[in-house]
Amino acid sequence: MPPVISSISTQLVDLPTIRPHRLSMTTMARQTLVIVRLRSSDDIEGVGEATTIGGLSYSAESPESIQCNIDAWLAPLLIGQPADNLNALMARLDRHARGNAIARSALETALLDAQGKRLGVSVATLLGGAVHDHLPVLWTLASGDTRKDIDEAFQRLDERRHCQFKLKLGANALGEDLRHTEAICAALEGRAGVQVDINQAWDESTAVQGISALEAAGVALIEQPIPARQVSGLTRLANRFRVPMLADEAVQDAGDGLTLLNAGFSGAFALKIAKAGGPRGALKLAHLARSAGVGLYGGTLLEGTIGTAASLHAWSTLPSLEWGTEMFGPLLLQDDIVTEGLCYHEFGVDLPSGPGLGITLDEDRLRFYTRP
């Protein structure tokens, strides 16, 4: 008789960041993780993580709504169901619930983690097998202070932890953002690559002006300069400039990817398991992009170690990630809730080993940071 899901619990975990992290829509001093613990009748527990940025600043799901919807609606659909049939379980959610991609991602991660532990294999193996066991990771410079950002970049280079950097633009006036970027590009020229993320802050005319200057400064990639729904505008920008456009908020899943491709978009896609409803949905988008010759980038919603590990298991199965990854979320946090963190070295991060995600919770620290 197959094991059944016996319980699903959630908890909100608030972790302080190492410094204020400034984006166009918010400044973060802490990150809230929604930790999902799924237990089956065979006494195997799977863990998952649902994370977003700045409450409702980034998406329609907040940590509190994620917890509420899992507890009240999604978990009851899964409890009592066979625990070892992921396709059937996720199809059941599809039939009875709409949206909630971040919450679904946490549940799918927990189910994959449990099944991996049950079979004694990694999540990457369940997803088809790892092609890579070490993935490149860039670092985001987002203090808002040009001198601090340059010093931080040189420190990361000297540590051999990161050799690619992203700047968060859009919170300031265009001229100020351009001066900030040009100074950093000049300081890092010949030592590291620089890309920028606008987080939808510009209109198309501002983007034309800004991208022209960013291209001249040597920026390698421009992420989501205009609002997500302006597909035609993003396509025009991608076709107008040599520097590639990276679609992020505009491409949540494979359906959005098809819309962009049909519009003639020729840039790159940012993959995020949270946007796509889980690792499998993100990989569907990745395979669509690869078939169309679109480059890939392993994105983050600044997840902690559990969510980052789930993403790494997915990205490890891809033959190539032309634009690398930004799986630095745990490094932005002052502390962790796992017994052993991820191993960052040589400008990247190792894929965790062991069954499931290869991650073990630290119950004491988890209890300390859990919101009452």
Q: Nearest Cα to 71, choosing from 111, 31, 105, 37? A: 37
22 pLDDT tier (thresholds 50, 70, 90): confident
Active site residue 326: yes
Burial of 273 (0-12, 13-18, 19+ CB in 10 A): buried
pLDDT digits (tens, 9 = 90+) for 134-155: 999 999 999 889 999 999 999 9
362 φ/ψ angles, rounded to the nearest 5 degrees: -95, 105
Q: Do 153 and 143 meet the contact criterion of CB atoms below 8 Å apart? A: no
User: What's residue 311's pLDDT?
Assistant: 99
SS3 call for 151: helix
Residues linked to residue 193 through DSSP beta bridges, in sequence order: 164
**Confidence check: pLDDT of 357 > 90:** yes
Cα radius of gyration rounded to whole Å, the chain: 20
Instruction: Using the structure block, give the residue that is written with the tokens 């294999």.
Output: 121
pTM of the model: 0.97
Q: What distance in Å separates the CA atoms of residue 179 and residue 367, rounded to the nearest whole number?
A: 44
Q: Which residues contact 91 (CB under 8 A, 6 or more apart)?
A: none
List domains and CATH numbers for the chain. Answer: 5-121+362-369 (3.30.390.10), 126-350 (3.20.20.120)
Mean predicted confidence (pLDDT) in 87-109: 98
Q: Do 268 and 246 meet the contact criterion of CB atoms below 8 Å apart? A: yes
pLDDT digits (tens, 9 = 90+) for 359-371: 999 999 999 999 9
Q: What distance in Å separates the CA atoms of residue 67 and residue 47, rounded to the nearest whole number?
A: 14
pLDDT digits (tens, 9 = 90+) for 31-84: 999 999 999 999 999 999 999 998 998 899 999 999 999 999 999 999 999 999
Q: What distance in Å separates the CA atoms of residue 316 and residue 352, rounded to the nearest whole number?
A: 11
23 pLDDT tier (thresholds 50, 70, 90): confident
**Confidence check: pLDDT of 28 > 90:** no
Q: Do 55 and 67 meet the contact criterion of CB atoms below 8 Å apart? A: no
Q: Nearest Cα to 205, choosing from 181, 236, 231? A: 236
Q: Strand 268-271 and strand 295-298: pairing?
A: parallel
Helices (H), the chain: 63-69, 75-78, 86-96, 101-119, 123-126, 146-158, 174-188, 204-217, 231-240, 254-263, 279-292, 305-315, 363-369
Q: Nearest Cα to 313, choosing from 166, 116, 138, 63? A: 116
21 pLDDT tier (thresholds 50, 70, 90): confident
Q: What distance in Å separates the CA atoms of residue 54 and residue 70, rounded to the nearest whole number?
A: 19
**Confidence check: pLDDT of 1 > 90:** no
Catalytic residue among 49, 249, 303, 326: 326
Q: Nearest Cα to 138, choosing from 115, 117, 163? A: 163
Catalytic residue among 49, 108, 152, 168: 168
Active site residue 168: yes
Structure tokens at 198: 């606008």
User: What's residue 32's pLDDT?
Assistant: 98
